[in-house]
Amino acid sequence: MDDPSTTLLAANQAFYDAFLRRDLAAMDALWARQHPVACIHPGWPALLNRAAIMQSWRQILSSPGAPTIRCAEPTAHLLGDAAFVVCYELLGDARLVATNVFAREDQAWRLVHHQAGPTPAVAGTDDPATTPPPGRRLH
Amino acid sequence: MDDPSTTLLAANQAFYDAFLRRDLAAMDALWARQHPVACIHPGWPALLNRAAIMQSWRQILSSPGAPTIRCAEPTAHLLGDAAFVVCYELLGDARLVATNVFAREDQAWRLVHHQAGPTPAVAGTDDPATTPPPGRRLH
């Protein structure tokens, strides 16, 4: 479990486990305290301080209409004492694509940033010929 | 110019300058070669290798319908030899919110990841009371 990719992907899964269980205390424990943090929920403006981010999770995790969420196809990208994971988020029939950035604090990976946004509902691909769906081509 | 936040924001601006000028060579030079890279264009699936990412930029920068783009409100988040910038992307009447992750290579900040997605057209805020627009609340 000391392999950094393994511990990184475990931390990423812990984030989605906390999300699925609507466990605000576990969610709070996963976010960094020694580094500044940021969070971009889909369709929200960027939240740039820890209090605002935790308030957003309180709101999201307590919402009776919150969908169940499952993480799919996570990939680990190590950058020394920082790292990021790219993964899909499956929410019922919807699919989002997410970036989760982590930094090491006290030997553990802690979240410093999360961004999720819409992506096509088809399976992911890194085929160079991939093109965006019509009308979604903002860049 | 050796202040890491200053050099980081300069590298982030160089990315948007290359985008605005449709300068594929400059764009290619900004992306990391020693670290693995990833890229999530708005509405696209995640691209997870450098060849696919450069092919996507070739396609985007050569498109006659590509809008002009301007970076607004960039914030620097340093994580040692890695870092990320959160900023807005203004494209005509549309506004996106983006995460750009950088790593140091040969003393310079190089892009290792970019994600952009939709955000409300109003001014950014980190007010804890901020709520997403109706119908956009995927989480």
pTM (2 d.p.): 0.89
Phi-psi region of B109 (alpha: psi -120 to 50; beta: other; left: phi over 0): beta
pLDDT digits (tens, 9 = 90+) for B13-38: 999 999 999 999 999 999 999 999 99
Please state which of the ranges A51-60, A62-71, B123-132 shows the lowest mean pLDDT. B123-132
Cβ distance A139 to B41 less than 8 Å, yes or no, reads: yes
Residue B132 has pLDDT above 80, yes or no: no
ipTM tops the 0.90 cut: no
Please name the helix (run of DSSP H) or strand (run of DSSP E) that holds residue B58, with its range, or none: helix B50-62
- pLDDT, residue B92, reads 85
Q: Does residue A4 surpass a pLDDT of 50?
A: yes
Tokens representing B40 are 């999530």
pLDDT of amino acid A126? 42
Nearest CA in chain B to A119: B43
**What's the pLDDT band for A137 if we cut at 50, 70, 90?**
low
Question: B44, B96, B131: best mutation site toward chain A, by most A Cβ within 10 Å?
Answer: B44
Based on the number of CB atoms within 10 Å of its own CB, is B81 exposed (0-12), middle (13-18) or buried (19 or more)?
Answer: middle
Mean pLDDT of chain A: 89
The model's confidence at residue A6, banded by pLDDT at 50, 70 and 90, is very high
CB contact under 8 A, A131 and B59: yes
Look at B59 and A126; give whichever has higher pLDDT.
B59
B 52-111 residues with CB < 8 A to A: 52, 55-56, 59-60, 63, 65-67, 69, 75, 77, 79-84, 86, 88-89, 91, 94, 96-97, 99, 101, 103
Q: Which of B57, B56, B38 is nearest to B100 (CA)?
A: B38
- For the beta carbon of residue A68, count every other beta carbon within 10 angstroms: 10
Asked if B13 reaches chain A (Cβ–Cβ under 8 Å), the answer is no
**Residues near A88 by beta carbon (within 8 Å), at least 6 away in sequence:** A71, A72, A73, A95, A96, A97, A98, A119, A124, B46
Distance CA A125, CA A132 (A): 12
User: Residue A66: what pLDDT?
Assistant: 76
CA angle B113, A107, B106 (to 5 degrees): 40
> Could you tell me how many CB contacts below 8 A there are between chain A and chain B?
215
Q: Which residue of A has its CA nearest to B110?
A: A79
Binary contact (B45, A97; C-beta < 8 A): yes
The answer, yes or no, to whether residue A138 has pLDDT greater than 90, is no
The type of residue at B54 is M
Distance (Å) from the alpha carbon of B18 to chain A's nearest alpha carbon: 13
Q: Angle B27-B32-B36 (CA atoms, 0-180°, nearest 5)?
A: 125
Q: Does position A136 have pLDDT exceeding 50, yes or no?
A: no
Spatial CB neighbours of B121, under 8 Å, sequence gap ≥ 6: B93, B94, B95
How confident is the model at residue A122, as a pLDDT?
A: 64
In this complex, the residue of A67, A80, A138 whose CB is nearest that of residue B96 is A138
pLDDT band at B130 (very low <50, low <70, confident <90, very high): very low
Check pLDDT > 50 for residue B124: no
pLDDT score recorded for residue A125 = 44
Strands B38-40 and A70-79: unpaired
Beta carbons of B91 and A117 less than 8 Å apart: no
Nearest Cα residue in chain B from A57: B139
